[in-house]
A and B are shown apart, each in its own frame.
Chain A
Amino acid sequence: MNAFLAQLLNGLDKGGAYALIALGLTLVFGTLGVVNFAHGALFMLGCFCAVAFRYLLTIETVTVDPTQLSPWGQPVEVRTPLVQNWFGDFGAVLVDYSVPISVLLTVPVMLAIGIAMERGLIKHFYKRTHAEQILVTFGLAIVLQEIVKSFFGPNPVPQPIPTDLRGAADIGLLLGMEAHQLTYPWWRLIYLFFSLAVIGGVFAFLQFTTFGMVVRAGMADRETVGLLGIDIGRRFTIVFGLAAVVAGVAGAMYTPLLAPNYLIGMDFLVLSFVVVVVGGMGSLTGAVAAGFLLGILQSFASMTEVKSLFPGIDQVIIYLVAVVILLVRPRGLLGRRGVMEG
């Protein structure tokens, strides 16, 4: 039972990441009708927003401290980040909490990148075939990856969890178990809640604001909304920016869990496309549900009991589910009838 709960929790935070990426993909697909293979690269850019932010924060000054001697009798070089010089203890906290704070930086940066991308390239591809959209965004993803690689190098750049948030939460205590029966790392828990909050935010935005209402109307029938005198193109550009932001913050917060390198987006992209298809193309709730579902399934499949029953199942479970869903129910779990069925 404990193992079961532990795997459920493990699956939830991974599912949170899948859900966030799939949400952005679906937003873009549902509004613009574009199959965006560069979405994984947006996730990757978000990761590197966090990396870059920390890099900026930790620009150091080196001072020689003659009062301290190293074991070899040399004066010790003391490295202090500039922020710490300027702000003292507050600066140290800033460096420590670089990852969560970097989310604030990620939002405007990703919004700008997303809007630039849509205006610069994607908008010329609305009328082209899906194959061509896939190809051009795939090429764009390669370019973005290589640019990041030329700045940050090919190796993964690990990001630390803030010191206070290290360690694990004793979930078992809450459920009335003995201590240390069921623990769960704090940061994963935070990521789970963070992803839920972002998902809730996006849904609230679409559901309760006028802007969101127009966007939903545009998703249902673009032409009519245009005929009502609403510049739907401009709204959709902002939606693309929003999708980029969602992918970006998902990436930035994920960095402590998985050290990002420039290829991280591609690995997530393939999975999140599967998620979108399983959930139903164009269905936002479907994308979120499928994200969590596949995350949980994946972590159950990696339990030793399951693996001894079906060897190798942990490697293929997601694709297996996708194949079965596509063959049995092509519009996905929650897809609308008639949308991209075929």
Chain B
Amino acid sequence: MLSLSRKDVIKLAVLAAIVLTMPIWLAPFGAAYPGLMQKFVIYAIFAVGFNILFGLTGYLSFGHAAFLGVGSYTAVWSFKLLTMDIIPAMIFAIIFSGLFALVIGYFCLRRSGIYFSILTLAFAQMSYSLAYSVLTPITNGETGLLVARSDPRVIDGLLGADGMANGLPTPSLLGVSLSGYAGFYICAAFLIAAFFVSQKVFASPFGMALRGIKSNPTRMIYTGFNTKPYMLTAFVISGMFAGLAGGLLAVTDPIAGAERMKWTESGNVVLMTILGGVGTLFGPVVGAWLIKYFENIFSAINVNVLNDFFAVLPDGLQAVMVTILSKFTGEGWHLTLGLVFVLIVVFLPGGLVEGAERLIRRLRRSGRTAVKKKVVQQ
């Protein structure tokens, strides 16, 4: 059950090493803050889950943010009603988003292609609008759902732990407060676990069946597969991943707002997966990190930073460089993102990971031909 092929074990070890050493290697990029790294890791989980659906089955969901939102709301409610411990919060977040995905998936998967995309989009937008309007008793509308001192927290009350040394209660794991690096490492552990699950899915007969459905659904049906339950399972699994990510977002900051369910957020996870590489294991992780990095660091590069950077150049040239580049950084980081995105879809449909693989293959081949030439000369 827990065994992996040798290749996959190496991949998992590489990922674990990369994730756990993030505080070290992100430092030169100016992104080694626990809060930011937590976001990197959480969105990687989101994208890895999305990739199980989109990468394996080819069904492009434009409504995955709904599950992220459901996960967040569930986690905050668990914080409010039961305990500040994250274990029940995560379990409930996964269960509820899974159930939600089951219902939505049941309807959406009756159609494929663009209709599926529009259906998921419609359901997600409905959840978003309802969270803002009618469901305010549950979601607290525009303000967002917050943890308060006066919440009941039944289990905490029974155990006598109040978990609020200063001001508001903070999420904890078995009594250990999860602020700063502790929170990051917990999220990192979840990412490694999520990556492991996605590896298992990719390597399993179930994953093979999904790939089969992607490449030729009719033939799969003729071979005697009932494709519906397979698709639905994939949809629910990826919804659960999104729910877990949403729950973890609530751990970093115990507030849940409806804007997490907006369709732009769904669009974001699509971008992450495509940018990194659809259907690859590492792709979504890389894509999520890149986009979050752009969003948080690139957007902070303002005119002053650019001026400092180009201070070595002569004044006129400096001004020119700064005016040009300032359009692409800071407030304009979306422009860079859009351009990169268009370029990738046009020239590198497989995403960054495929690009890297191609590069490696070419290097190897040229290495091999060089060796051959030597042999011939001798």
Contact = CB atoms under 8 A, between A and B. Distances in A.
Contact of B338 (A35, A146, A326): A146
Interface stretch (A89-97, A187-195, A317-325): A317-325
A132 interface: yes
Given A138-B267, A150-B332, A270-B121, A342 B126 contact: no
B111 interface: yes
Interface in A318-339: 319-320, 322-323, 326-327, 330
A316 interface: yes
Interface in B113-147: 113-115, 117-119, 121-123, 125-126, 129-130, 132-135
Contacts of B111: 326-327, 330, 342
Contact of B345 (A132, A150, A316, A319): A132
A340 interface: yes
B327 interface: yes
Contacts of B220: none
Contacts of B126: 315-316, 319-320, 323
A139 B129 contact: no
A75 interface: no
Interface string A292-316: 0000000000000000000110011
Nearest to B345: A136
A323 B130 contact: no
Interface in A121-179: 121, 124, 128, 130-132, 134-136, 138-143, 145-147, 149-150
Contacts, number: 116
A273 interface: yes
Q: Determine chain A's interface SS by DSSP, over half rule.
A: helix
A342 B113 contact: yes
A168 B58 CA distance: 52
B335 interface: yes
Contacts of B110: 327
Contacts of A322: 118-119, 122
B354 to A, nearest CB: 14
Q: Determine chain B's interface SS by DSSP, over half rule.
A: helix
Contact of B107 (A131, A142, A274, A323): A323
Contact of A142 (B122, B133, B331, B334): B334
A215 interface: no
B114 A319 contact: no
Contact of B335 (A35, A146, A316, A320): A146
Contacts of B263: 270
A277 interface: yes
Contact of A143 (B130, B132, B264, B338): B338
A136 B348 CA distance: 12
Contacts of B337: 142
Nearest to A277: B118
A294 B133 CA distance: 20
A312 B134 contact: yes
The 5 A-B pairs with the shortest beta carbon distances in the complex, nearest first, are: A142-B338, A312-B134, A315-B129, A146-B335, A139-B341
14 contacts: A138-B270, A142-B334, A146-B335, A150-B327, A277-B118, A311-B134, A315-B130, A315-B134, A319-B122, A320-B126, A326-B115, A330-B111, A340-B114, A342-B112
Interface of B: 58, 60, 107, 110-115, 117-119, 121-123, 125-126, 129-130, 132-135, 263-264, 267, 270, 274, 327, 331-332, 334-335, 337-339, 341-342, 345-346, 349
